[in-house]
Chains A and B, each alone.
Chain A
């Protein structure tokens, strides 16, 4: 998935811990998105950004915060992780009919 890099790829957190997921793009795209994928539920939009300095809520924003201080980076934060946030997280860039996804971050909250 060239152009969209997610770090880390895997992480295990204890309940109540915090962490930040990083999405970096080298395609100079305005729009960036964070999705989570859970079995049987497809991908659901958490937050998105339409440009540097902007963020907006998606379908399932509770428990997450985001920041887009630089155009190429979109950060997803969990302030106090809960087991319900165990999921695979995908970052995406794009708009219209063209979107590119990162390879994902598998997060387990115990």
Chain B
């Protein structure tokens, strides 16, 4: 039972363009949604989060949008840079449970 799904295993974007990574979820009890970035041989690093009571959160080049009615969130990166090439994980926290549930990840490649 995959509660958090990232249906695109990979995405390739040209440098300078917008990257849009998508995530769908099934559990209405999720409290927070987080995006993590992961380079090879390193642990996931926190990128940006959004509370379930918000519909948008922005931090520099990164913006996360939450559509609760569709149970969908997306991460926008603009402009995309070569250093953004990594695996991106969507994760969610269940109310009161204090543990992260992860999606499968999307490998983002930024082409020069």
The residues of A with any CB-CB pair to B shorter than 8 Å are 1, 4, 31, 33, 35, 40-45, 48, 50, 58, 90, 92, 95-104
Mask: chain B, 74-112; 1 = CB below 8 Å from A; 0 = not: 000000000000000101010000111111110000000
Query: A42-B103, A97-B51 given. 13 additional CB < 8 A pairs?
Result: A33-B100, A41-B104, A42-B4, A43-B44, A43-B102, A45-B100, A92-B100, A97-B34, A99-B34, A99-B46, A101-B36, A101-B43, A101-B44
- Tell me how far the C-beta of B41 lies from the nearest C-beta in chain A, rounded to whole angstroms: 7
- Tell me how far the C-beta of B33 lies from the nearest C-beta in chain A, rounded to whole angstroms: 9
Say if the beta carbon of B62 comes within 8 Å of chain A: no
Mask: chain B, 28-58; 1 = CB below 8 Å from A; 0 = not: 0001101010000111111001010000000
- Say whether B49 contacts A97, CB under 8 Å: yes
- Say whether A96 contacts B98, CB under 8 Å: yes
- The 8 Å CB contact of A104, one of B6, B43, B49, B102, is B43
- Tell me how far the C-beta of A69 lies from the nearest C-beta in chain B, rounded to whole angstroms: 21
Say if the beta carbon of B9 comes within 8 Å of chain A: yes
The residues of B with any CB-CB pair to A shorter than 8 Å are 4, 6, 9, 31-32, 34, 36, 41-46, 49, 51, 89, 91, 93, 98-105
Q: A58 vs B34: C-alpha distance in the bound complex, in angstroms?
A: 19
- The 8 Å CB contact of A90, one of B44, B46, B91, is B44
Q: A71 vs B63: C-alpha distance in the bound complex, in angstroms?
A: 36
- Tell me how far the C-beta of A37 lies from the nearest C-beta in chain B, rounded to whole angstroms: 8
- Say whether B46 contacts A98, CB under 8 Å: yes
Q: A92 vs B42: C-alpha distance in the bound complex, in angstroms?
A: 13
What 9 A-B pairs are tightest by C-beta distance, nearest first? A101-B43, A42-B102, A97-B32, A43-B102, A95-B98, A42-B104, A103-B43, A97-B49, A1-B43
